[in-house]
Amino acid sequence: MTTQSARPISGSLRAVVWDFNGTLIDDVGITVHSLNVLLARRELPLVDMESYRRCVGFPLCDYYARIGLDVANEGMSSLAEEFYAIYLPLLSACPVHRGVVEVLQWLDGAGIEQFVLSASEEGVVRSAVVGLGVDRYFSDVLGLDHCLVDSKIERGRQLLRSLPFAASEMLLVGDTDHDAEVGDALGISVLLVAQGHQDEQRLLATRHHVLESFEALRQTLIRCAPKPYHP
C-alpha cells in the first residue's frame, strides 16, 4: 500500500518530524467517543469510526459543521473546550501505536534527531509524550498555543528555522492529508501511515507514500536511509 512521493527519501536523513495524534498515539477511539458525547448532548446523529476516518479533515471546524455541530453560533472555542473536557481524562490510557517504539529506537540508534510537531495544544502534547515514556527520543516537542486544532504549518516553519538541517535531510511522518500539506509547505519528504485519523483512500489522494503499519515504516526507513548522517 504505497504511492510514489514527489520527494522520495534520498541522501542522508538527519531528522524526523513526527505528528502526535493518530501517529505516535492511538487516540482515534477516544476522539470518536468524545465527539459522540458532544453530538448526543445535542441529539444529533452519532459518527462511527469508519465514517470519521473517511470524512475528518482540516480545518476541524469545517468537519464539526458537516456532522451537525453549530460552529457558527456555539463557537469553535466553546466546542473545543467541551471536547477536551471529555477527551483529556481518557488520553493517559491511550497507547502508542504498535511498532512505534521500535521505529523510535531504530532512529535513535542511527543518530537521527527526532521532533514532535502537533496541531494540539503544546502543553497537552508535552505531558502526553512524557506519560508515554518516549520523551527521551525527542529533541523537542512542539504544538499550538490553543486547543482549536488548526494548521501547524507556521509552527513547522519555526521549527525548521531553528534547525541546522537542510529540508532534503528531513522527513515528516504523519497520518492525515494535513501532515502532507505541512510537509509540502516546509519542502520536506512525507511518509503517511494509514492507522490513524484518516483512512487509506484519503491518504493516497495526497500522492505521498502511504504505509500500512509502523513495521512497514521501520523497514522503509532502513531501506531508504541505510547510511544516516554522522558529524
Give the CATH number, domain containing residue 128.
3.40.50.1000
In the chain, how many domains are there?
2
Q: Are 119 and 200 members of one domain?
A: yes
Q: Which domain holds residue 81?
A: 28-91
- pTM over cut 0.95: no
Q: Are 65 and 154 members of one domain?
A: no
Quickly state the pLDDT bin for 146 (edges 50, 70, 90): low
Q: Are 83 and 140 members of one domain?
A: no
Quickly state the pLDDT bin for 155 (edges 50, 70, 90): confident
Instruction: Say what the pLDDT of residue 229 is.
Output: 46
Averaged pLDDT of the chain? 89
Instruction: Say what the pLDDT of residue 7 is.
Output: 47
Helix/strand/coil for 29: helix
For the cut 90, the answer to whether the pLDDT of residue 65 exceeds it is yes
Quickly state the pLDDT bin for 150 (edges 50, 70, 90): low
- Cα distances from 1 to residues 53, 101, 200, 203, in angstroms, run 17, 22, 8, 11
Q: Are 207 and 99 members of one domain?
A: yes
Q: Are 52 and 102 members of one domain?
A: no
- Which candidate, 127, 126, 184, places its Cα nearest to that of 6? 184
Domain-located, residue 194:
yes
Domain-located, residue 162:
yes
Instruction: Say what the pLDDT of residue 5 is.
Output: 43
Q: Cell numbers of 36, please?
A: 459522540
What b-and-e string marks burial along 182-216, b requiring 16 or more CB atoms within 10 Å of the CB? bbbebebbbbbbbbbbbbeebbbebebbbbeebeb
Helix/strand/coil for 24: coil
Q: Are 20 and 100 members of one domain?
A: yes
Domain-located, residue 41:
yes
Q: Cell numbers of 38, please?
A: 458532544
